[in-house]
Structure 1
Amino acid sequence: MKKLLLLFMACATVYSVNAQIETPQPSPFSKIEQKVGLTDVTIEYSRPGVKGRTIFGDLVPYGKIWRTGANARTKITFSTDATVDGQTLKAGSYSVFTIPNAETWDVIFYNDGKDSGTPDELDPAHVAAKTNVKSYPVPFDVETFTIDINNLSNTGGRLEFIWEKTWVGMDFTVPTDAAVMASIDEVMSSDAPSAKDYYAAAVYYLEAGHDINQAVKWVDKTIDMTKDDPKFWYIHNQALIRAKAGDTKGAIEAAKASLKLAKAANYDAYIKKNEDVLKEWGSM
């Protein structure tokens, strides 16, 4: 019994020594994960607050290198190559430094392998890309520093910084088209592309502005392969592709078929889509 009591006391002592008070961080950590085209973009940073202070031109001096957040360096990771202002960023991780000024900011992607500390000067050998962008005032207060990725498309997005009364945006692109075209070439040269493969390739050609006549062949193949179980969304895109190819009569025929199926499925979104294009093409 005495031994058990001593063991209990020893464990309690160890717990009391190791226990620590946990409180909220003044600049909490944030992580953004965004798919841009086929590229995974991840941003890790800490978010300071205004807390009644003057930020740009004071707490964050103009003309000085800023870690673009608090605590550890802000880090951005691209799963593929990306392009910033004509400069290639190889797939990988970079520190994001900025040099704010009253009307413009420099945005710098830095790759010295460190995850903390702000250099007094930037080593040109570690500057992977640098661009200068205009800053804009916002008509409201933004208490917490925020980084986001907006203006998304299949081929790029906009990295945005907003804090206090300042907004800055920087565009970047990713090599989606090359990757998709390579994938389409590989699948279409295989023995048995599926209906979904033909459909995906046709819709991509439509959206990316590639050979529309080839898109017609692929979407028609899709519809033929699924004629025993027709899909109204497949047929709606067949209508759009035919219209883009200049076949208005065929487009109207497909849209009416899609509309009938969408009504049978009580699918309002595609009922409206088909009615809208039929009106546009003068058939309603």
Structure 2
Amino acid sequence: MKKILVISSLLACFSAKAQLNIPEPSPSASFTQTLGFTKVKVDYARPSVKGREVFGKMIPYGDIWRTGASDCTTLSFNDELTIGGKKIAKGKYSLFTIPNIEQWTIILNTDTTLHGTGGYDEKKDVLRFTVKPEKAPRFYETFTIELSDIVKDNAMLYILWENTMVKFDLISSAKERILADIDNKINKLKTENSKLYFQAAEYYYNQRMELDQANTWVAKAGMMEADNAYYPNLQAKILESQGKFAEAIPVAQKAVALAKKQNLTPIAQNWEKKIATWQQMTGVKSTTTDAHAGHDMSKDMGDMKMASTTQKPTLDPEVQASITKSLSNYYALKNALIADDGNTANVQAGELVKTISALSMTKLNAQQHTLFMGLSEKIKFDASHINETKDVKHQREHFNDLSNNVFALIKGLKANENPVYQQYCPMAKAYWLSDNATVKNPYYGKSMLTCGKVSETLK
């Protein structure tokens, strides 16, 4: 018996020594990315093409796929995220997909113990939505998942392999938390603090939301701390983003005067150039540059509004036609959101991108060119995001920024041939544009159709 045990031990030893240590054919990968206050982690395995035809062959169309190799791919996050237009509670989820030529189905499932798709139970799904596959920017030999395009505490998750790319948004809850904090400290606790007003205004400006409120807050900060150059600097940015160039001139001049005193040369140089441009655009030639503490800017604002009542410049007919068509595309998109029609919104957003992209910039003068270049890329960014999905909830998330930038473009170029009504929804805290004063809310559609009011009119 003793001899048998010795022989068995020797055989086991020789067997272990004979085995090779070979790397996994589909190596595992993991990464973590912070979005706002949320940490997102992805764990997956990375197979390679190796000369095979992947989608439609190795990965059959219409079949559920583990979205990688080996064990199922997992997506975990320590705070609530909005994915595919739905709020998903913090936790760890398996990520499955169903590839097809025209669309992919994205699936989050609560079972993270699976090897491949064996044992997959659809009843454990917490989310299903569809996205359009695209041609990848290059050939991906190795399967890749990455989080990129991080904007405003949100990101895009990319699935890339062979010549195919699929992407969808991960939207953090940071905005909701910050807005609740602002509301609590400013509106409920009535905290009077210049830096708090400045931070709140800066956040609203960066989010392109309620810019009139942001302007009010930063103006308060400026009155409380009159020698701080950063306050008129932000206020000028807010007015510029609204296309209120005549009102921005005295504020920018105050920023220049303070910046020069404090050796903030880049701020001073930036606004000096823009002031000259705005004066040519608006016809405003002389304004105050008083930057002393306690100076009342409201009188300057009134003077500028009166001085800026000049003859409306005429755009080149080709440019005017393009802007009018872009506004029509925007209205059609807005009407689709009112009707909760994600398909039409998708199409019209794509048309808006095409129209804006096709505008002949050689027909613009220097000032118009500067304005258009600054706003057109922002318009295309949000319109492209709306065009990437047919999910109305997701489309509405990009509509406020799109609306603000379209309004700033129309107002800055004085390109409206008919009245344009900027309207505001206090529930969504968001703006939209209409060709008539009747309120029809694109953020809530049929559920709250008449919620809102006219905030400004371009005539």
Q: Same fold (TM over 0.5)?
A: yes
Alignment of 1:214-225 (within 5 A): 214-225=213-224
Return the alpha-carbon distance in structure 2 between the equivalents of residues 277 and 247 of structure 1: 13
Return the alpha-carbon distance in structure 2 between the equivalents of residues 132 and 187 of structure 1: 40
- Aligned residue for 2:181? 183
Deviation at 1:92, TM superposition (A): 1.7
Deviation at 1:170, TM superposition (A): 2.0
Paired residue secondary structure (2:216) = helix
Return the alpha-carbon distance in structure 1 between the equivalents of residues 279 and 21 of structure 2: 67
Return the alpha-carbon distance in structure 2 between the equivalents of residues 122 and 245 of structure 1: 51
More helix by share: 2
- Aligned residue for 1:142? 140
Deviation at 1:80, TM superposition (A): 2.9
Deviation at 1:281, TM superposition (A): 2.4
Alignment match of 2:250 (pick from 245, 248, 253): 253
More strand by share: 1
Return the alpha-carbon distance in structure 2 between the equivalents of residues 276 and 35 of structure 1: 37
- Aligned residue for 1:39? 38
Deviation at 1:244, TM superposition (A): 5.6
2:221 is the counterpart of 1:235: no
Alignment of 1:1-284 (within 5 A): 24-112=23-111, 114-120=112-118, 122-138=120-136, 140-154=138-152, 156-188=154-186, 189-190=188-189, 192=191, 194-228=193-227, 230-232=228-230, 234-243=231-240, 248-259=245-256, 265=263, 268=266, 270=267, 273-275=270-272, 277-279=274-276, 281-282=278-279
Q: Is the 8 A contact 2:65 2:117 kept in 1?
A: no
Cα-to-partner distance string for 1:152-180 (whole Å, 9 max, x where unaligned): 33264322111111111123434443222
Q: Is the 8 A contact 1:103 1:135 kept in 2?
A: yes
Return the alpha-carbon distance in structure 2 between the equivalents of residues 74 and 94 of structure 1: 8
In the comparison of the two structures, how many residue pairs are matched? 263
Over aligned residue pairs, what C-alpha RMSD do you find? Answer: 3.4
Return the alpha-carbon distance in structure 2 between the equivalents of residues 160 and 55 of structure 1: 17
Paired residue secondary structure (1:119) = coil
- Quick one: percent identity of the two aligned structures? 34
Return the alpha-carbon distance in structure 2 between the equivalents of residues 71 and 279 of structure 1: 63
Q: Is the 8 A contact 1:65 1:118 kept in 2?
A: no
- Give me the TM-score of the superposition, normalised by structure 1: 0.75
Q: Is the 8 A contact 2:72 2:117 kept in 1?
A: no
- Give me the TM-score of the superposition, normalised by structure 2: 0.49
2:248 maps to a residue whose letter is A
Cα-to-partner distance string for 1:254-280 (whole Å, 9 max, x where unaligned): 223434555664654x45643564355
Unaligned runs of 5+ in 1: 1-16
Paired residue secondary structure (2:133) = strand
Return the alpha-carbon distance in structure 1 between the equivalents of residues 145 and 108 of structure 2: 15
- Aligned residue for 1:14? none
- Aligned residue for 2:328? none
Distance 1:243 1:54, change over 3 A: closer
Distance 1:219 1:53, change over 3 A: same
Cα-to-partner distance string for 1:10-38 (whole Å, 9 max, x where unaligned): xxxxxxx9xx9876544333333333344
Large movers: runs of 4+ above 6 Å: 20-23
Q: Is the 8 A contact 1:65 1:120 kept in 2?
A: no
- Aligned residue for 1:8? none
Q: Taking CA–CA contacts closer than 8 Å with sequence separation of 6 or more, which of the two structures ends up with the larger relative contact order?
A: 1
2:156 maps to a residue whose letter is R
Unaligned runs of 5+ in 2: 1-15, 282-459
Deviates more, 1:145-154 or 1:93-102: 145-154
Return the alpha-carbon distance in structure 2 between the equivalents of residues 99 and 116 of structure 1: 17
Cα-to-partner distance string for 1:68-103 (whole Å, 9 max, x where unaligned): 122332111233323333333122221111122233
2:98 maps to a residue whose letter is I
Paired residue secondary structure (1:67) = coil
